[in-house]
Amino acid sequence: QVQLQESGPGLVQPSQTLSLTCTVSGGSISSGGYYWSWIRQHPGQGLEWIGYIYYSGSTCYNPSLKNRVTISVDTSENQFSLKLSSVTAADTAVYYCARGGTVATPNYWGQGTLVTVSS
């Protein structure tokens, strides 16, 4: 059974870079055919797609975040990561990592991690 776990700072200063890592267990991140995604949920609000990286290395980012987002994979650690630069209070949210067999179909999710942007 594949499991995903987010990790990273729970508090980030405004204008700094938010960095989160998703550790994958129960399966290799380098095995083919999967989309590795980041999704966030502002407090009390709906889900927002941040972006994904395909096993081939190709990426696709939410246009509204594209200039600030980078998603990368570390196959040696069986992890993938999210970096979101120049954060503001509007980036405060629960961040989820997820894996899907097709695009727009994440079926394995991490438990989510709350990141607060505040000084």
Partner 1 sequence: QSALTQPASVSGSPGQSITISCSGTSNDVGSYNLVSWYQQHPGKAPKLMIYEVSKRPSGVSNRFSGSKSGNTASLTISGVQAEDEADYYCCSYAGSNTCVVFGGGTKLTVL
Contact residues for partner 1, defined by CB under 8 A: 37, 46-49, 51-52, 60-63, 96, 102-107, 109-112
Smallest separation (angstroms) from partner 1 to the CB of 22: 12
Smallest separation (angstroms) from partner 1 to the CB of 85: 19
| CB nearer partner 1, residue 54 or residue 85 | 54
| CB nearer partner 1, residue 16 or residue 41 | 41
| CB nearer partner 1, residue 32 or residue 104 | 104
DSSP-derived secondary structure letter, 25? E
- Residue 100 tokens read as 């899907």
> How far is the C-alpha of 119 from the C-alpha of 105, rounded, in Å?
36
> How far is the C-alpha of 86 from the C-alpha of 67, rounded, in Å?
10
84 with 91: CB under 8 angstroms? yes
> How far is the C-alpha of 111 from the C-alpha of 2, rounded, in Å?
13
| CB nearer partner 1, residue 85 or residue 100 | 100
Smallest separation (angstroms) from partner 1 to the CB of 95: 11
